[in-house]
Structure 1
């Protein structure tokens, strides 16, 4: 069994969105795209298995900012009309429906055993095609009219009140089965859990209340057999008996036995150390993890994070008495290459032999995770929408899959990117960008390694079509291929955030030499004849070596070469 879909309405950055999931899913997206909020949303209908406390009540800041502000401004502008309707007991049901509510709906499919059926059975909800099982979390006003009256009173006090006065204390939450609307009790919810290994892991094994100690304590307490627990209790008793036998213990009460104090012998003999029989979990909290010959807290941040990831993932994955969604945020954080590769391979092998009672969701900014853990498992969070790679043209997905070292994330998420064929164009354009002192450049120049750009533009457009906040420039060689030029130019004709420019001559070197006084400057620099054919041939002879040398001179402002027209147009457009 696994969660196949999560619908979120009015929660943090999500207005209304459906998120499809696989048994294993990789979620990628820019900062603030909602990756962490997605995990927090899942904790609302599911039982949180984290080591901290997770409330299901929300704050006003948990509402989507656009939704709650839109309601608030409309309410303020129409306050007098609303007050009149309330005073006259008129119907305000339409207004009550507009009060902000948060909904998180989770759909399960494919239970594979009788036990899994038993977990989901009361949530069965026929969709006309297959059996699905669905639960719904809703944060709602207990009595909408009370919320309306409260807002009117607060605006009477202060017309300029902001959304911070919104009375979420007049709200409540409920978790129901969508097939009958009945509330789901906590016992049923305890069978479906979410466990998140967060990206902020710096406190692991640091400080007085080390998370590593609590994790190990909980793991031991839950996994030890009753026989082992009994042995530990006996050892705990033996520990106190050994203290009583120590001479130092007896000396602690020697003052009571001194001459002159009568009738105390019998009293002193009755003094014993009796264990207070604390919970075993409290005993285990005194255990500190070591690594090698050192305490774990003495090791570096990267080593501590690596062990936390391995221990927690193993701990959550091994729990087979309930269904468990395991979320891992940015596993690459703080890890060196070796530790990252080890963890990535460990996670990949776990996903391949995955239990039907576990579902893995990983968020990342690292292209290696995307490429290694199968592209058809990738979801992209961007611009209030989801791009599901399993629904993308297989030709495009296979194209990327055949290029495991290609930085897919750089292509998709760079706000201003220029694609070029090879390193010579890349070096030249970066050098030209470095001379522009009026701006701090965020332009990424990326050499794709061959002549075809159409596939890359197709992939980029899946995420960025119609998005005026991002730009892609394409700089290509003519290579005596007029049809290829026309095909590439069509992308610019159909998309206002793409610009395609092609050399006038055969390649970059032809156009560079033909631009203004560049031929004379280059002939002087290389001490060769001032002849376009000779200079062009010289540049092409050792393309990368010559362009590296020229780029260094351009960056140092030692060589005043002019950009060829096709490069100049793209650079000026993309930084504008």
Structure 2
């Protein structure tokens, strides 16, 4: 089993470390945070291949982290000759006796451990060529990977090959699997397992006899007669149409899978995606230790996704699995204990968070965990009425709904805001908390004292004597304006406030939808300002 992966300067990752669960790992993160890059890097370090080819044939400036590239170019232009940045992917294995040959401290963490690494760095054999290349730094825009080499090494410092890597990996991405080749591989395995030699001979003979039958069809005979009449215009030899019965076009290769009598390529995208993943699992799983599955939910309905996740769990039992996903359903199905929250700087297993936080999200219907993880920014509020009012405040401040900016307003039901902040801290996720003061703003602020040391977390608490949202809104807008918004004609603040408190959500919806200008309390304006 794999214990850990360290990545340096590979694509989105500058310095990235991720501890792995021994069985299932469900990796969740926002778009472009590096979920696919984690699977790709693991597969590269364990197989030496990228995009199906050896890494030596796939070297490109775009494999090098952009920040590292910019620093390298700036150093060239300011200080002169600089060493191009290296790319490093290290995989740490469980420390067992049979892996002694791979054990050493030749790794970035200087840990005595068995492991392998892929190092992509400048090749000293090209010193002269490189010196000529950098004579005009102003013209350099990329890292010169033409002068790089890929070294596949153990932590003991020796070179390794595929045979020397103890963990075999399979990367399964339905969007990258060619449908026909996947189907062919599965059909070939069925044919090989179920047909005797005599039956294969009979099928071969029957397939060849199709040529004679095909040639006797009236339409085919007419075409061939016409082609014979055109002899000399196209070729001096006889040109006819027939079935290809050469070895290259043997009957095994021309079988086409059908589902309910529909050819494979005409089945819906969701069913194609599910079948591609399952066909790949059937082909690769027997010899695989580590299974890497890229977003299996694509194009799938709830029912199909349920069937697929069950199959993945069954087929991968006893193996180490990494699944990337945006689906709360997959997270529910495979288990919250296996959740890994991913950010550009690293991943955090949810089981490493405070036990009270893990217990809270296990009991939370729908696992709103994903909402905070996938948002670019989150605003935590206490209830549905607060959610509507803060959404209106955001719209007024920015001229668009929060979702248009990737911001998510999450109703965390009062005291549980701290549990979401426990998730936000390791992810460095920008979060604003909007709270009533409940009559004691100082005490409310103390509740979040442990989180305010982080510059990406801000706490916004109502001030003054107004201890809840409704009196805050009344104080900010006055009775006349709120009577207009609510379509009421109360003659005292007390009566209006009683109505607002008795009808919290209705009042909030009216505020959200009104065309009248609304003045938001200062603490809400501050929360949505960024």
- TM-score range, shorter-chain basis? 0.7 to 0.9
Deviations 1:79-99 (A, max 9, x none): 4xx6xxxxxxxxxxxx7xx44
| Residues 529/147 of structure 1: CA separation in 2 closer, same or farther (3 Å cut) | same
Q: Identify the residue that residue 7 of structure 1 maps to in structure 2.
A: 6
Partner-residue secondary structure (3-state), 1:490: coil
Q: Does the alignment pair 1:485 with 2:444?
A: yes
Q: Identify the residue that residue 411 of structure 2 maps to in structure 1.
A: 447
Instruction: Tell me the CA shift for residue 516 of structure 1.
Output: 3.8
| Residues 410/454 of structure 1: CA separation in 2 closer, same or farther (3 Å cut) | same
What residue ranges of structure 1 are gaps of 5+ in the alignment? 83-94, 112-116, 205-210, 256-272, 465-469
Instruction: Give the counterpart of 1:100 among 66, 79, 85.
Output: 85
Q: Identify the residue that residue 228 of structure 1 maps to in structure 2.
A: 195
Partner-residue secondary structure (3-state), 2:45: coil
Q: Does the alignment pair 1:194 with 2:194?
A: no
Instruction: Tell me the CA shift for residue 234 of structure 1.
Output: 0.6
| Residues 20/416 of structure 1: CA separation in 2 closer, same or farther (3 Å cut) | closer
The higher radius of gyration belongs to: 1
CA distance in 1, matches of 2:310, 2:440: 44
Q: Identify the residue that residue 344 of structure 2 maps to in structure 1.
A: 383
CA distance in 1, matches of 2:105, 2:131: 43
Aligned positions of 1:147-166 closer than 5 A: 147-156=126-135, 158-164=136-142, 166=144
Instruction: Give the counterpart of 1:304 among 258, 272, 275.
Output: 272
Using the size of structure 2 for normalisation, the TM-score is 0.81
Q: Identify the residue that residue 208 of structure 1 maps to in structure 2.
A: none
Instruction: Tell me the CA shift for residue 126 of structure 1.
Output: 8.9
Instruction: Tell me the CA shift for residue 329 of structure 1.
Output: 1.4
| Residues 347/404 of structure 1: CA separation in 2 closer, same or farther (3 Å cut) | farther
| Residues 343/450 of structure 1: CA separation in 2 closer, same or farther (3 Å cut) | farther
Instruction: Tell me the CA shift for residue 302 of structure 1.
Output: 2.0
Deviations 1:405-445 (A, max 9, x none): 13212223423322111111111222233334656642422
Deviations 1:207-245 (A, max 9, x none): xxxx22211222343465477363453134322563587
CA distance in 1, matches of 2:527, 2:8: 40
Instruction: Tell me the CA shift for residue 523 of structure 1.
Output: 3.5
Partner-residue secondary structure (3-state), 1:527: coil
Partner-residue secondary structure (3-state), 2:367: coil
CA distance in 1, matches of 2:208, 2:269: 41
CA distance in 2, matches of 1:100, 1:49: 21
Aligned positions of 1:304-453 closer than 5 A: 304-317=272-285, 319=286, 322-348=287-313, 354-355=317-318, 358-436=319-397, 438=399, 441=402, 442=405, 443-453=407-417
CA distance in 2, matches of 1:48, 1:250: 53
Q: Identify the residue that residue 92 of structure 1 maps to in structure 2.
A: none
CA distance in 1, matches of 2:366, 2:398: 33
Instruction: Tell me the CA shift for residue 363 of structure 1.
Output: 0.8
Contact 1:9 1:102 in 2 (8 A): yes
Deviations 1:285-310 (A, max 9, x none): 32323222322322322222222233
| Residues 54/380 of structure 1: CA separation in 2 closer, same or farther (3 Å cut) | farther
What residue ranges of structure 2 are gaps of 5+ in the alignment? 226-242
Q: Identify the residue that residue 72 of structure 2 maps to in structure 1.
A: 71
CA distance in 1, matches of 2:526, 2:204: 82
Q: Identify the residue that residue 263 of structure 1 maps to in structure 2.
A: none
Instruction: Tell me the CA shift for residue 104 of structure 1.
Output: 2.1
Contact 2:73 2:137 in 1 (8 A): no
Contact 2:207 2:251 in 1 (8 A): no
Instruction: Tell me the CA shift for residue 491 of structure 1.
Output: 5.3
| Residues 70/496 of structure 1: CA separation in 2 closer, same or farther (3 Å cut) | closer
Partner-residue secondary structure (3-state), 1:43: helix
Instruction: Tell me the CA shift for residue 460 of structure 1.
Output: 1.6
| Residues 562/176 of structure 1: CA separation in 2 closer, same or farther (3 Å cut) | closer
CA distance in 2, matches of 1:187, 1:341: 36
CA distance in 2, matches of 1:390, 1:314: 31
Instruction: Tell me the CA shift for residue 476 of structure 1.
Output: 1.9
Contact 1:25 1:378 in 2 (8 A): yes
Single out whichever of 453-462 and 479-488 deviates more from structure 2: 479-488
Contact 2:393 2:520 in 1 (8 A): yes
